[in-house]
Amino acid sequence: MQNPNFRVAPAKQPKLTKSGAETIAIEVLAFLAKDPARFECFLALSGAGLDNLRAAAAEPLFLAAVLDHLASDEGLLLAFAAQAKQNPEEIAKARELLSPPSETP
């Protein structure tokens, strides 16, 4: 006999790690690179160049900046989320993980 009050708990999502956040940021960078106009805009706003992009992509602060850029444009964020089949909230968590802690006075 089944208990009518018994409910199956929803499956828990695995906790996002720093490594997972870095992977998301690299995926965003690849997404931007696929569209020359988007990529040029990102490079211009970030100050990065093709000559130092590979080295910059190894830095968590640069990867946080990639996610900041994505988050600054809702249409771009939603386009990436749809293409990557990522929840925008997970992208926001990745951004938080990679961003430096804010200083409180």
Residue 9: the pLDDT is 52
Q: Which amino acid is at 104?
A: T
- For range 52-56, the mean pLDDT: 89
Which pLDDT band holds residue 5 (cuts at 50, 70, 90)?
A: low
pLDDT, mean of residues 21-44: 95
Is residue 105 domain-resident?
no
pTM flag (> 0.85): no
How many domains, in total, are found in the chain? 1
- Local structure of residue 85 (DSSP, 8 states): T
What's the pLDDT band for 1 if we cut at 50, 70, 90?
low
Residue 38, domain extent:
18-97
Q: What's residue 79's pLDDT?
A: 96
- For 55-81, the pLDDT digits (tens) are 999 998 999 999 999 999 999 999 999
The yes-or-no verdict on residue 16 having pLDDT over 60 is yes
Token pair 């200083």 is at which residue?
Answer: 103
Measure the CA–CA gap between 95 and 18, rounded to whole angstroms: 10
pLDDT at 26: 96
Residue 12 forms part of a structural domain = no
> So what's the pLDDT on residue 101?
78
Give every CB contact of residue 71 below 8 A, 6+ residues apart in sequence: 77, 91, 92, 95
102 located within any domain: no
Is 63 within the bounds of a domain? yes
Give the contacts of 25 (CB within 8 A, at least 6 positions apart): 63, 64, 66, 67, 94, 98
